[in-house]
Structure 1
Amino acid sequence: MRTPIVGLHHVTAIASDPQRNLDFYTQVLGLRFVKKTVNFDDPETYHFYFGDDTGTPGTILTFFPWPGTPQGRRGAGETIATAFSIPVGSLPYWRKRLVSKGVATEENVYFGGAHLSFSDPDGMVLELVEHTEAQAVAAPRYSDVPAQYAIQGFFGTTLLELSLMRTESLLSMMGYRKLGEEGDRFRYAPDGDARGRILDIVVDKDAQQGRMGAGTVHHIAFRASDDASQLDWKQELGRNVSVTPVQDRTYFHSIYFREPGGVLFEIATDSPGFLIDEPIESLGEALRIPEWFEPQRKLIESRVQPITLHKAEKAVANESEATL
């Protein structure tokens, strides 16, 4: 029997400037730089991973930062918003923090919950949603965001589709059930209380097609508990969609497929995780490349853009932070 999908493993997006991307997600959002590696399909460019202190599945936002890549266009067949979970009561802190960093925000209410919306430097739409998580994560140790306000991982994602029926059918097969609908927005989730379980679909039959580029989401990945579970899902999904062979991504194993509306989905294993090649204290600080690229390390290091990781001391909530 297949192990159920419980929610997101990671989300992967496209950025243009590596240093700007690194600074925004570590210094503005306070995420940890979990891994600095390379794009396995384009090893002369980076692949960045951000998340909680150890890179727990369900907290990981990754980027292909391609210098000079043109702006993408959000549209049908794409993920149009990525939502993070924040502790209940922390929304005022984040409103104040984002404004202080020069980030414009707006607030929307979906299914009774406030979504604080803003964009990263490439225009990728992000949201913060207050939510009580059943499983705590370790707040990033090198961040000036106090632990009681720190991002807890994903809340969910929003897809834009021209129609609903075929995508909804695939989600149902994956264990996602409809929780409700509001106008053209439909909400789904699997059973359980794992982080990153919410998936919204906005339906607009007149939407233009999306175009990949800076500020767009490349794919979203769902969790498989282990290799055996992933293979079970590969067999099951293969009855309905075209699924790739298993890909070794060093820190997890992956299979990819497109849902009927065009969004690229992945199923990634929880293991082996991000601590297999460097200690937790210095996680993300050295360039890590897969062993099959090691003979090319000097060339790779000469081609990728130099970056600087600015590490803040662990925050202690002072009076100005506590008085919101």
Structure 2
Amino acid sequence: MSLQLTGIHHLTAITANAPKNLDFYTRTLGLRLVKKTVNQDDTSAYHLFYADGQASPGTDLTFFDWPVGRERRGTHSIVRTGLRVGSDESLRWWKERLVASAVPAGEIGGIGGHSALDFEDPEGQRFRLVSDGGAGAAHPWDKSPVPAEHQIRGLGPITISVPDLASTEAVLTRVMNMRKGREYPSPDGEGQVHVFEMGEGGPAAELHVAVQPGLRPAHQGAGAVHHVAFRAPDQETLHQWTQRLNEFRLPSSGEVERYYFRSLYFREPNGILFEIATDGPGFTVDEPLETLGERLSLPPFLEGRRASIEANLKPLA
């Protein structure tokens, strides 16, 4: 059997207002803050991780807190983040909640083979709530303001925009072993969207590629997505992916120790940053599951700088 990615691991976006970001994702969306740490390459910035009640791989939505202006939307970018819920009934529940919270939201409808509801966060990041029909395990957070049956179950699909499909498709299918499936018109009326599947498929394991040559290149800022990560079960599998990228002469970061997982970064031909990350060891490696996210966590190589790092961070509350 060929080397396979098993789905979406996490997605990292950019916020310019960490306190409001924390409020929206925990209180409005009902996600759990499972890790409060810093960007390991820029310790002046928070790196906030939101996930389900068990901090499961495939549920992590993370943010770098950078003092930047708003994103300029366009192609060569990740344009829509899918968040899975368990049913069409949950979509209706969320529509009412988002409207009541004055969150910009569209109408429930069929998009790309799934029942879905589009909305935006306060900084303009574009999301799509997707009904996955209750497939797979769910791990609700018992302290969420959202009822367990309607809580966000995880990530996927993720939609990227490119001006030309050919080179991106070659990397997705020949290098990353994704399967090309269906296609559908982009809901925004700009171009066609092509669906690529990983592992067992389904919303948690789909990357949607919108081909949009009429758009100008995006410029990252608040409300933009920085990168998307795909799942590798363990470190041995990640070694195989590292070797595979080398065999295809695809430039990469080499393996990077992120403490909570091990990562490999590279850019697809249209410049979008991809990551392959291991499922483990996970967020309980340095604090108990019961108290995840309650204090600033630092990996061992930064622990000696805790006092100076904490002094440079803005309060979240």
1:274 aligns with one of 283, 292, 295: 283
Query: Could you say which residue in structure 1 is the equivalent of 2:316?
Result: 307
1:181 Cα deviation from its structure 2 partner: 1.3
15-24 vs 202-211, greater mean Cα deviation = 202-211
Deviation string 1:109-165 (CA, Å, 9 cap, x unpaired) is 323433211111111001101112432121112211111111110121111100001
39-48 vs 107-116, greater mean Cα deviation = 107-116
The answer (yes or no) to whether the contact 1:57–1:270 under 8 Å persists in 2 is yes
Query: Could you say which residue in structure 2 is the equivalent of 1:115?
Result: 116
**Correspondence 1:248 to 2:257:** yes
Equivalent residues, number: 307
Query: Could you say which residue in structure 1 is the equivalent of 2:60?
Result: 60
1:166 Cα deviation from its structure 2 partner: 1.0
Change over 3 Å in CA distance of 1:33–1:195 after alignment to 2: farther
1:203 & 1:251 partners in 2: Cα distance? 34
Query: Could you say which residue in structure 1 is the equivalent of 2:298?
Result: 289
Q: In the TM superposition, what are the counterparts of 1:135-146 in structure 2 within 5 Å?
A: 135-146=136-147
1:225 aligns with one of 230, 233, 238: 233
* Residue identity matched to 1:85: R
**Correspondence 1:212 to 2:220:** yes
* Residue identity matched to 2:310: E
1:234 & 1:201 partners in 2: Cα distance? 24
The answer (yes or no) to whether the contact 1:134–1:193 under 8 Å persists in 2 is no
User: What do you get for the CA RMSD once the two structures are aligned?
Assistant: 1.4
1:269 & 1:22 partners in 2: Cα distance? 26
The answer (yes or no) to whether the contact 1:81–1:127 under 8 Å persists in 2 is yes
1:191 Cα deviation from its structure 2 partner: 3.7
1:2 Cα deviation from its structure 2 partner: 5.6
* Residue identity matched to 2:161: L
Change over 3 Å in CA distance of 1:158–1:51 after alignment to 2: same
The answer (yes or no) to whether the contact 1:21–1:65 under 8 Å persists in 2 is no
SS of match in other structure, 2:116: strand
* Residue identity matched to 2:306: R
1:191 & 1:307 partners in 2: Cα distance? 38
Query: Could you say which residue in structure 2 is the equivalent of 1:85?
Result: 84
1:3 Cα deviation from its structure 2 partner: 4.1
1:74 & 1:157 partners in 2: Cα distance? 16
Q: In the TM superposition, what are the counterparts of 1:112-191 in structure 2 within 5 Å?
A: 112-173=113-174, 174-183=176-185, 184-191=192-199
The answer (yes or no) to whether the contact 1:6–1:194 under 8 Å persists in 2 is no
* Residue identity matched to 1:9: H
* Residue identity matched to 2:236: A
Normalised TM-score (structure 1): 0.91
Gaps of 5+ in 1: 309-324
1:240 Cα deviation from its structure 2 partner: 4.1
The answer (yes or no) to whether the contact 1:86–1:151 under 8 Å persists in 2 is yes
SS of match in other structure, 1:271: strand
* Residue identity matched to 1:177: R
Query: Could you say which residue in structure 1 is the equivalent of 2:200?
Result: 192
The runs of at least 4 aligned residues of structure 1 exceeding 6 Å deviation read none
* Residue identity matched to 1:199: L
1:53 & 1:103 partners in 2: Cα distance? 24
* Residue identity matched to 1:200: H
Deviation string 1:240-265 (CA, Å, 9 cap, x unpaired) is 42011211111000010000111100
1:140 & 1:7 partners in 2: Cα distance? 22
* Residue identity matched to 2:270: G
248-257 vs 128-137, greater mean Cα deviation = 128-137
1:269 & 1:101 partners in 2: Cα distance? 36
Gaps of 5+ in 2: 186-191
Percentage of matched positions with identical amino acids: 40
1:112 & 1:35 partners in 2: Cα distance? 33
